[in-house]
């Protein structure tokens, strides 16, 4: 009864929050977003794969092709977020673990707010980057194209390329971690 008055979460809820912290750490080792490029000359597809701290895939080939439409090169130096995002995610995992140990509903509400704000900031940042790449085309490029904004999720057609933007495994793991944070609010609603 004393724990209920103090807004303390149950031990089961604390374990769920602890599992959430572990999932956040695991997510750092998986891609968070990717873009697949298909064209007749590349039927197997080309990839840009975004991890929280690096880019992977056939970046050099894609940059060579993007040169023809006047798009800037994709590189880690053009995405400063990749130099610090891993620390933000690691810090979020630590805060989640602290929340599990303290077992306070008020702290859990704050943590959930951080998740929501961080998620929205990430989506807006990705959109801004895609807009910058698709609308700041060199007017002197060999092939003239109208500016465009690739979608965060979904398909897009540019010249003879069809691109598919997808969330990566890491984001799905973070979504599961977020859901694990919501369960204690329902589970311990009368505590």
pTM of the model: 0.89
Q: For 32, which DSSP code? A: S
Q: Using one digit for the tens of pLDDT, what is the confidence trace for 162-179? A: 999 999 999 999 999 999
Q: Using one digit for the tens of pLDDT, what is the confidence trace for 116-128? A: 999 999 999 999 9
Alpha-carbon distance of 24 to 22, in angstroms, equals: 5
Task: Identify which of 129, 158, 160 has the alpha carbon closest to the alpha carbon of residue 146.
Answer: 158
Alpha-carbon distance of 152 to 165, in angstroms, equals: 6
- The domain locations on the chain are 2-187
Q: Using one digit for the tens of pLDDT, what is the confidence trace for 31-80? A: 999 999 999 999 999 999 999 999 999 999 999 998 899 999 999 988 99
pLDDT attached to residue 191: 52
Task: Take residue 115 and report the two structure tokens written for it.
Answer: 């998740």
Q: Most distant CA pair in the chain: distance in Å?
A: 73
């Amino acid at each position: 009864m004393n724990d209920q008055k103090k807004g303390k979460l149950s031990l089961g809820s604390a374990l769920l929050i602890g599992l959430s912290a572990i999932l956040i750490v695991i997510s750092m080792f998986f891609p968070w977003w990717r873009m697949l490029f298909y064209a007749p000359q590349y039927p197997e597809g080309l990839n840009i794969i975004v991890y929280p701290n690096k880019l992977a895939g056939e970046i050099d080939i894609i940059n060579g092709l993007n040169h023809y439409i006047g798009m800037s090169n994709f590189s880690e130096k053009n995405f400063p977020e990749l130099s610090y995002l891993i620390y933000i995610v690691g810090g979020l995992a630590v805060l989640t673990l602290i929340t599990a140990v303290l077992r306070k509903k008020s702290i859990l509400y704050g943590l959930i707010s951080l998740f929501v704000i961080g998620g929205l900031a990430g989506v807006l940042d990705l959109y801004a980057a895609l807009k910058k790449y698709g609308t700041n085309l060199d007017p002197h490029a060999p092939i003239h194209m109208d500016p465009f904004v690739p979608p965060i999720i979904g398909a897009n057609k540019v010249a003879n390329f069809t691109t598919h933007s997808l969330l990566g495994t890491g984001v799905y793991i973070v979504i599961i971690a977020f859901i694990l944070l919501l369960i204690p609010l329902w589970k311990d609603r009368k505590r």
